[in-house]
Structure 1
Amino acid sequence: MAQIPTQTKKDLFTHIAILASLFLVLFFGFFFVYLPWSTHHGETIKVPNLKGLSADKMEELIDASDLTYEVSDCTYTADKPPLTVLSQYPLPNALVKSGRKIYITINSETPPTIKLPTLVGLSVRSAEQQLFIAGLRKGIVHEVNDPRVKEVIEVQALGRKIEAGASIPKGTMVDLYIGNGMANVDMEMPDFVGKPMDEVTIILAGMNLKVGKVVYEANEAFPAGTVFKQTCATCEGTSVKPGDLIDLWVVGGEDENQ
């Protein structure tokens, strides 16, 4: 084996330079060639997009991509089908090694129960905000005869009346009943016979009653355009309530009175 003489300073510096060169070659080779090759070897798999897939489809795609998975969380979202993927990590299109584990969040089959917040006495907008915060949804808003204008007076869900604090499934549609400002009191049925149709219409509107069926017929006992008969199918006896329908018979043809 050839030996490098070290009898002079020049020989010593030459020896040191060779050792330093070997060290640098090993250093850069380890950190810039071997480590990148060993740590990134096989990092050619692109993570598929699993969001929205059913559990079965997700498993098939994971297996086909040579990856593994673990369900890290199970939550409930009302507008998503049960047992579908809600989120994943790593994210879609990330490059990972073969066999990398993908962490999945699945939509639960059974919604958790939520306690109904206090809604009675609130406005519709405030009630809707409380429902959203609680994980519930606003259903149909019904107006009923009540002096409390635009104020929630009753809450129904799942086909029945419910009170604050009752437990119902998350995502349930909740119907609100609000007052229309009209007291739910009985009034005496007014007598419209002999009055002009235009006048009757004004009286009905003022009493918060509605015009129901209007029948035009000949009747020689009254002038044209005059009401000669009235009925109310929704009334009790001679009493009426706001919102009742009053059917009217009017003298003359319909074309004459339009």
Structure 2
Amino acid sequence: MNKRRKRKQGGSALGAAIARLKASPVVYHAVLIVGVVVAILILSSVMMNIITRHGMHRTVPDFTGVRIGDAESMAKQERLQIIVNDSLFVPAYEGGIVLDQLPKSGAEVKAGRKIYVTINSFRQKMVQVPYVAGRSLRQAKNMLEVAGLEIDKLIYEEDIATNYVLAVEVEGRELQPESKVEIEMGEGVTLRVGVEQEKNSTIVPKAIGQSLSTAKSRLWEQGLNIGQVNFDEGINLLNQKDARVYRQSLEHNSGAKLGDAVSLWLTLDEKKVESNSAASDKRATELEEERLEAEQTLRDSLEMVEAGISFDEDMSPTLRETLQRALQQSAQMQQQIEQTDEDEFF
């Protein structure tokens, strides 16, 4: 009886409250609007949770090491889409195997997301070797890189055409203008390059901080060969493109002979690269200051000779000739430094 009485009293109170609200149209409509807005917000929140949680999010599977056909089937089951955006040729793997993917396995993505993969080619692509004899070394290098080829070795021979390609060789055979020789993409060719004896010097560019391909390109452009290439532990054929040079056997901004070889060390450790890069820049500045000081000393000596001032009565024309030649070589090296700095800027 008491419960019934309380319910009746509660119902009467609610009814009285509604009656009072209805008696005041402004308040009634305000409360009604607030109630509708709150209901819409609650409904939207519930629907959003249902949409985002019910079948919309997927965990990306690991497709690496899987044949592309099987990977596409796996992706379809997960409501994902496989897109092949690159291919490499790695002899250690079968053709058609997925080598890399983006996003990586374990990532949370929405259904329908595209997964970009790199697959292993069934065979390396064959490309025709361009005939680059008669071109400057820089032009020849660029033409080979566009064709997907490298420089295997630079061999310098005495000739008045310094840094111009005299001949192109593939597997020991010299190419002719009409030659139609094809080799696998990524392979290298030998270039025989001219050099005058007085111009047999170059400046070592900075390879630290660069990828292997960029470092090679910079060294070739300065007339230098690639020595040993050393990789830190953990670097493989798949992540090699992410590695950066942290050490080079010949210092940046130091002098070298055309054709000298520069060995490289690569790592995935960004801190190691940054630390060594800063040290390399500091040392390069010191070398530049030393070179400028030596140039000034040579100029002063030559001026004294030309003015007839000598600390040695036995000063010979040969000494004067030597000083002049040294100044010419110094000027050439300065031009190479400026060219190297310009190339590194771009």
Q: Give the TM-score normalised by structure 2.
A: 0.38
Q: Which has the higher contact order (CA 8 A, sep 6+)?
A: 1
Structure having the higher helix fraction is 2
Structure having the higher strand fraction is 1
Structure of higher CA gyration radius = 1
